[in-house]
Amino acid sequence: MEIFSVNKLSFRFPVMDDWVIQDLSLTINEGEFVVLCGPSGCGKTTLLRLLKKELVPVGERHGDIKYTGKPLASLDERTSIEEIAFVFQDPDNQIVMDDVMQEIVFGMENLGYSTIDMRKRVAEMVHFFGMEDLLQAKPSELSGGQKQMLNLLSVLLLKPRVLLLDEPTSQLDPVAAKDLLIMLQRLNEEMGMTIILVEHRLEELFSVADRVLFMNDGRIMHSGSSREIIYSLFEKRDEQFLPYIPSLSQLYLKADVQPNQHQIPLTVKECRQWLATLPKVDTQVHKEKVTSRNHEDIILTLQNVYFRYEKNGAPILKNLSLTIKRGDYFALVGGNGSGKTTALKVATGIVKPQRGSVQLFGKEASKLKEKLGKIAYLPQNPRAFFVHDTIEKEMLETIQRLRLQDGEAKIEAMLELFQIAHLRDRHPHDCSGGEMQKAALACMLLSNPDILFIDEPTKGLDPISKSQFAKLIQDLHEKGLTIIMVTHDIEFAAKYAEQCAMMFDGDVTVEGTPAELFKGNYFYTTAINKATRGEREVLTLEEAVEQWPAPITI
Is-cis flag, bond preceding 551, omega within 30?
yes
The pLDDT tens digits along the chain (554 residues) read: 899 999 999 999 887 888 999 999 999 999 999 999 998 888 999 999 999 999 999 999 999 999 999 999 999 999 999 999 999 888 888 899 988 999 999 999 999 999 999 999 999 989 988 888 889 888 887 877 788 889 999 999 999 999 999 988 887 888 888 888 998 999 999 999 999 999 988 888 999 999 999 999 999 999 999 999 999 999 988 888 999 999 999 999 988 768 899 999 999 999 999 988 887 655 555 555 555 555 568 999 999 999 998 888 788 999 999 999 999 999 999 988 888 989 999 998 888 899 999 998 888 877 765 566 788 888 877 777 888 989 999 999 989 888 888 888 989 988 988 888 988 988 888 787 678 888 888 888 888 888 999 988 888 788 888 888 888 889 889 988 999 999 999 999 999 999 999 999 899 999 999 999 999 899 999 999 999 988 688 999 988 888 765 444 43
Question: Residue 433: what pLDDT?
Answer: 67
State how far the alpha carbon of 457 is from the alpha carbons of 483, 516, 551, in Å: 11, 23, 38
How would you classify the pairing of strands 317-325 and 298-307? antiparallel
- 8 A C-beta contact, residue 126 and residue 153: yes
Question: Residue 548: what pLDDT?
Answer: 63
State how far the alpha carbon of 86 is from the alpha carbons of 89, 152, 273, 390, in Å: 10, 9, 38, 29
**Region for residue 445 given its phi and psi (left: phi exceeds 0; alpha: psi -120 to 50; beta: otherwise):** alpha
Question: Residue 28: what pLDDT?
Answer: 96
What's at 21, amino acid-wise? Answer: I
How would you classify the pairing of strands 162-166 and 60-67? unpaired
What's at 102, amino acid-wise? Answer: Q
Instruction: Give the whole-angstrom CA distance, residue 460 versus residue 432.
Output: 8
Q: Alpha carbon 90 to chain centroid distance?
A: 10
Instruction: Give the whole-angstrom CA distance, residue 546 versus residue 544.
Output: 5
pTM over 0.95: no
Question: Residue 430: what pLDDT?
Answer: 79
Closest CA to 486 of 326, 346, 379, 376: 379
Question: Residue 219: what pLDDT?
Answer: 95
Helix (H, G, I), strand (E, B) or coil at 372: strand
Question: Residue 7: what pLDDT?
Answer: 96
Residues 6+ apart with CB under 8 A from 77: 53, 54
Question: Residue 552: what pLDDT?
Answer: 41
Residues 6+ apart with CB under 8 A from 11: 19, 20, 21, 43, 46, 50, 57, 59, 60, 61, 62, 218
What's at 349, amino acid-wise? Answer: G
What's at 324, amino acid-wise? Answer: I
